[in-house]
């Protein structure tokens, strides 16, 4: 089970996206502020990852088959074929999650930049606090949106558990991915709006 979860995550999201953090270089940066930004980034990415894992769950048997075949013989045709099948199944989940992940990382970078000197002191801190509240609301909305796909998730789980190569499994998996895609898209759009709002607020503080 642990091996399957690791392989799903590896196929879903590039390592660079998972490991990316907000930059913390620069003179006299406000360290508590930067730490808050990093935590916000981790929370934001966690929401996107949760949706990606839910999307990928119907592909779990394909991922298991690829892991088993490739552990037995990494150079075999069976390993190549099962890896390809898993990748095809996971591709829509990766495509849906990437914009939200990129938006999280961009928002994290913008947040840390606002922790540099001369960002309006109390005014700038309030901007960042409002920005974190904006992102928290976006994450809550995304979870609510994903909860609305519970019927599609259960249908995909049942169909693919019975026969992962059946037309019913493919159709149920597509329905789940279609249901979850707007949740990821809305999350990315809202994160960008939060970032722009926070940036404009900080700029206004420095102009005072």
Listed in sequence order, the residues at least 6 apart from 31 whose beta carbon sits closer than 8 Å to its beta carbon are: none
Q: Mind listing the pLDDT tens digit for each residue in 103-149?
A: 888 888 877 777 776 554 678 778 878 888 888 888 888 888 888 88
Residue among 69, 68, 60, 65 at smallest CA distance from 89? 60
- pLDDT reading at 1 higher than 60: no
Exposed (0-12), middle (13-18) or buried (19+): which is 197, by Cβ within 10 Å? middle
Rounded Cα distance, 87 and 97, in Å? 15
Q: How far apart are CA 6 and CA 68, in angstroms?
A: 13
- The span from the CA of 112 to the CA of 24, in Å, is 7
From the centroid of its chain, how far is CA 157?
Answer: 21
Domain ranges of the chain: 28-203
Distance of CA 94 to the CA centre of its chain: 9
**Band of residue 71 on the pLDDT scale cut at 50, 70, 90:** very high
Mean pLDDT of all residues in 23-40: 70
Full-model pTM: 0.56
Angle at 7 between CA 178 and CA 101, to 5 degrees: 50
User: Angle at Cα 175 formed by Cα 56 and Cα 17, nearest 5°?
Assistant: 35
């Amino acid at each position: 089970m642990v091996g399957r979860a690791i392989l799903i995550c590896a196929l879903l999201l590039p390592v660079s996206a998972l490991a990316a953090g907000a930059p913390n270089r620069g003179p006299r940066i406000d360290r508590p502020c930067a730490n808050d930004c990093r935590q916000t980034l981790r929370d934001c990415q966690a929401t996107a990852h949760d949706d990606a894992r839910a999307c990928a769950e119907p592909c779990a048997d394909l991922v298991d088959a690829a892991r088993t075949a490739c552990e037995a013989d990494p150079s075999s045709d069976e390993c190549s074929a099962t890896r390809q099948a898993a990748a095809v199944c996971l591709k829509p989940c990766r495509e849906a999650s990437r914009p939200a992940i990129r938006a999280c990382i961009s928002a994290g970078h913008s947040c840390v930049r606002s922790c540099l000197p001369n960002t309006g002191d109390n005014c700038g801190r309030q901007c960042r606090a409002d920005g974190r509240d904006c992102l928290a609301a976006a994450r809550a909305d995304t979870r609510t949106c994903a909860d609305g796909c519970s019927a599609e998730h259960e249908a995909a789980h049942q169909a693919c558990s019975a026969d992962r190569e059946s037309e019913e499994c493919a159709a149920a998996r597509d329905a789940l991915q279609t249901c979850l895609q707007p949740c990821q898209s809305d999350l990315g759009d809202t994160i960008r709006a939060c970032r722009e709002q926070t940036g404009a607020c900080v700029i206004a503080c420095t102009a005072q």
